[in-house]
Amino acid sequence: MDVLLQAPAQQIALVIARIYNRGLTTTSGGNISVIDEEKNIWITPSGIDKGSLTEKDIVCINADGSVKGNHKPSSEFPFHKAIYETRKDIKAIIHAHPPALVSYSIVRKVPETNIISQARQVCGHIGYAKYELPGSEALGAKIASEFKKGFSAVIMENHGTVVGGTDLSDCFERFETLEFCARTGIYGSQLGPLNLLSDAAINEFNLQLPNNLPEQDKVTYTSDEKGIRHDICSIVNRACQHGLMISSYGTVSARWRKNDFLITPTGISRWDLQPKDIVQIKGGKREPGKHPSRTAYIHQQIYNMHPKIDSIILTQSPYLMAFAATGKNIDVRTIPESWIFLKDIHQLDFGVQYKTSSEIPKRVSAEKPAVLVKNECVVVTGGSLLQTFDYLEVAEFSARSLVMSSSIGKLFPISDEQTEELRKAFIKA
Ligand SMILES: [Zn+2]
């Protein structure tokens, strides 16, 4: 999505498809709007299938109140209008009924966003609007008054959520991150109490991130280098589609030659990543004018230390993060596949991701490819991008089975004798 050059109708059609395909809205529920420079509001139509919406279906309500388009505007237009009138910095709005956020709305709570450092930064504190009749001016007034207090994300009592942004990309990132917090919070609470980060710890995190790497003088783009750019983008896209990565967080890298590598950039939505955005790191220096992920130094250390590791994924997936947010031990002796691939997932303390620590590079290996960092992320390594992605999927599936099984019975892990038997049969000495 290009929020500068793409027309609002195109942007809205793209985002509604993402939201629908990720299972964050039903065919009938939810609406999206964008306000342009001339104060025209572009909004999804009323009663049209969200699964097949195109830009021709988007309706425009001009600043003078006249309506242009092939359909009736969304019945929730009044609250979109009320938010734009209250907050001039907001240029895009998403309203939907995603299941985890609706869970919070029907028990009348707001999700914790300080379970993960960047989530608090992306979502801020969350507002809460009391129930009113859908489509009514009263609902608009309740929601607008929450936005007036400075909230950019609001839980609507017994209804859903409404999120604003400086553009539709910013808005989608906040919406997706908030639903992610809600899922992680719900799955985590099945394991035990959530550990919350203090505002001081979140601020500290930003101060501890390193300055940018020095720039290369002259860059060489070889054929294999260009191939790796495409491979990284397709893995990132697959991770987003499968709920293993969200817009606001996630880094993928792959070894190029010796200890040089290619890595995803910082500050670009993971959903919109293009091969030209990928950053080449050669001799510890970055491609001029580009900004690699802020964790590039961890990737560099891992490649230096582990010649057999050729690819790394740092991400947040909801079931693994449920363990990382509660600090509960994740036992992957669930099924043979999980144990053979992962052996053990160590859980490291928040703070090991800082530049002064080399704990993450020391803890990963070809034998034990994944570690969790409390309230931060999962780090998965592998011999190729596809293998690393597979290990990530296996780890997330294992975490999911553990969370789901917690309400039906106690875990019986594979025994020591059985793991020994697996080692002999499947793992080369
Ligand atoms: Zn609604």
CA–centroid distance, 112 to ligand 1, in Å, is 22
pLDDT of residue 211 exceeding 90, the answer is no
| Confidence check: pLDDT of 429 > 90 | no
**pLDDT band at 212; cut points 50, 70, 90:** confident
Residue type, 411: L
Cα 135 to averaged position of ligand 1 atoms, centre (Å): 9
Average model confidence (pLDDT) across the chain: 94
What pLDDT band is residue 210 in, cutting at 50, 70 and 90?
A: low
CA 314 – CA 249 distance, rounded (Å) = 8
Report pLDDT for 1. 83
Higher pLDDT, 48 or 109: 109
Residue 298 CA to ligand 1 centre (angstroms): 43
Q: 360-402: per-residue pLDDT in tens?
A: 999 999 899 999 999 999 999 999 999 999 999 999 999 999 9
User: What's the DSSP call for residue 22?
Assistant: T
Residue 172 above 90 pLDDT? yes
Question: Is residue 56 classed exposed, middle or buried when 0-12, 13-18 and 19+ CB atoms within 10 A define those classes?
Answer: exposed
Quick one: what percent of the chain has pLDDT higher than 90?
87
Query: Which residues lie closer than 8 Å to 114 by C-beta, 6 or more apart?
Result: 120, 196, 197, 198, 199, 202
Residue 78, both tokens: 């009044």
Spacing, Cα 96 to ligand 1 middle (Å): 6
Cα of 169 from ligand 1 centre, angstroms = 21
Band the pLDDT of 27: cuts 50, 70, 90: confident
Output the six-digit token pair for 268: 């670009």
- Which pLDDT score is estimated for 159? 96
93 CA distance to ligand 1 middle (Å): 13
The mean pLDDT of 121-132, rounded to a whole number, is 96
b/e sequence 295-324, b meaning 16+ C-beta within 10 Å: bbbbbbbbbeebeebbbbbbbbbbbbbbbb
Which pLDDT score, from 0 to 100, does residue 328 have? 96
CA of 38 to the centre of ligand 1 (A): 27
Q: Residues 6 or more apart from 161 whose CB is under 8 A from it?
A: 95, 96, 97, 98, 101, 105, 153, 154, 155, 175, 178, 179
* Residue of 123, 128, 187, 196 whose CA lies nearest to 330: 187
- For the segment 233-275, what is each residue's pLDDT rounded down to a tens digit? 999 999 999 999 999 899 999 999 999 999 999 989 999 999 9
pTM for this one?
0.94
For the residues 134-140, what does the mean pLDDT come to? 95
CA of 119 to the centre of ligand 1 (A): 24
Give the 3-state secondary structure of residue 346. strand
| Å from CA of 146 to ligand 1 middle | 17
Q: How many CB atoms lie within 10 A of CB 212?
A: 13
